[in-house]
Amino acid sequence: MSMGAPGAERGGAPLALTALFCGVASSVMLKGIADLAPGHAIAIRSAIAVGLLGLVIGVRMARGRSGGLDRAGAARAVFDALAGLTFALAIFELPLALLATIHATMPLVSVALAALILREPLPARALVAIAVGFAGVVVILDPGFGASPLGLTLALVSTLAYACRDLVTRRLRPEADMLKSVILSSVLIGAAGLVTAGLPDRAHMPATPDLVRLFCAALTFLGANTLIIAAFRRATVARIAPLRYTSILWSLVFDAAIWGHVPDAATAAGIALIVIAGLILLRPARP
């Protein structure tokens, strides 16, 4: 089945939605780590992810089912590592909902870059959905939140890096082993996490509850990374990118349930616009 066919489009969206939920869940687990410096927590999560991926890749290689890692896969890993590190550090600086809201501007970047670089078409419905969704983002950001400048900078860098990563993902050959790209990214994130770690006296073995959180964070981190690759192999950037707005909804739910952050009227209005944008996008096209 060729990429971008109707059946592939339908298959790409559920994979992307699951990946986005996994990404938020991993953020929740990582944000809940209180007894480690952010860099150390990121490094441990990456080490767990590398160990799990290594086992899977080893089994596949033994069965002769493992593919190679070409330049596109390596480039994707570098962009993903930059995006993953800056995003993970921003988790400790910003409320999840605000971080997800900033990332919801990624469709604008992704679709614009896809049109310029990949020459992908821009259906009118996708443009309308993105415009409505972006309006919702602007409404949510209006209160300002008094957010950390460092956190906002990290969030913006990660947004741009993720958009570039998504474009490179579209360049992966069908036979390329996406797990090798993910494991390289995880190694790079873990190494960078150690470099950016806090004071040495905070580097210690975490307590059992934190280890459980880090293990769950690693699992969901892997789910987010592998499923988003599969999604972009089945659908265009214009189709997948606007679905990122769902991350805001999940983040708001977790923020309220765990940290007691309840959206105000402006945020609620922004959420409504984002939901409308999703409905516009997912509405079946007229024959």
The torsion angles phi and psi of 173, rounded to 5 degrees, stand at -70, 150
Longest CA–CA separation in the chain, Å:
64
Half-sphere exposure of 112 (CA within 13 A, CB side): 9
At 110-137, the pLDDT tens digits run: 777 777 777 777 778 778 887 887 887 7
**Number of CB atoms found within 10 A of residue 59's CB:** 11
The torsion angles phi and psi of 137, rounded to 5 degrees, stand at -65, -45
Q: 229-259: buried (b, 16+ CB within 10 Å) or exposed (e) per residue?
A: bbbbbbbbbbbbbbbbbbbbbbbbebbeeee
Spatial CB neighbours of 140, under 8 Å, sequence gap ≥ 6: 97, 101, 248, 266, 267, 270, 271
Rounded to an integer, what distance in angstroms lies between the CA atom of residue 70 and that of residue 77? 11
- For tokens 């474009």, what's the residue? 167
Pick from 95-99, 226-230, 238-242, 269-273: least confident = 238-242
What's the confidence (pLDDT) of residue 130? Answer: 79
**With pLDDT > 70 as the criterion, what percentage of the chain qualifies?**
86
pLDDT at 287 over 90: no
Residue-averaged pLDDT of the chain? 80
What's the confidence (pLDDT) of residue 281? Answer: 66
> Looking at residues 14-25, what average pLDDT do you find?
92
- Are 104 and 255 contacting, i.e. CB atoms less than 8 angstroms apart? no
> Looking at residues 148-154, what average pLDDT do you find?
83
Q: 0.75 cut: is pTM over it?
A: yes
Spatial CB neighbours of 187, under 8 Å, sequence gap ≥ 6: 46, 50
**Number of CB atoms found within 10 A of residue 21's CB:** 18
Q: How many residues does the chain have?
A: 287
Name the 3-class secondary structure at 113. Answer: helix
- Are 186 and 26 contacting, i.e. CB atoms less than 8 angstroms apart? no
At 196-213, the pLDDT tens digits run: 875 554 556 778 888 999
What's the confidence (pLDDT) of residue 28? Answer: 94
The full DSSP string for 209-231 is: HHHHHHHHHHHHHHHHHHHHHHH
pLDDT at 50 over 90: yes
> Looking at residues 26-33, what average pLDDT do you find?
91
- Split at pLDDT 50, 70, 90, the class of 79 is very high
What's the confidence (pLDDT) of residue 284? Answer: 56
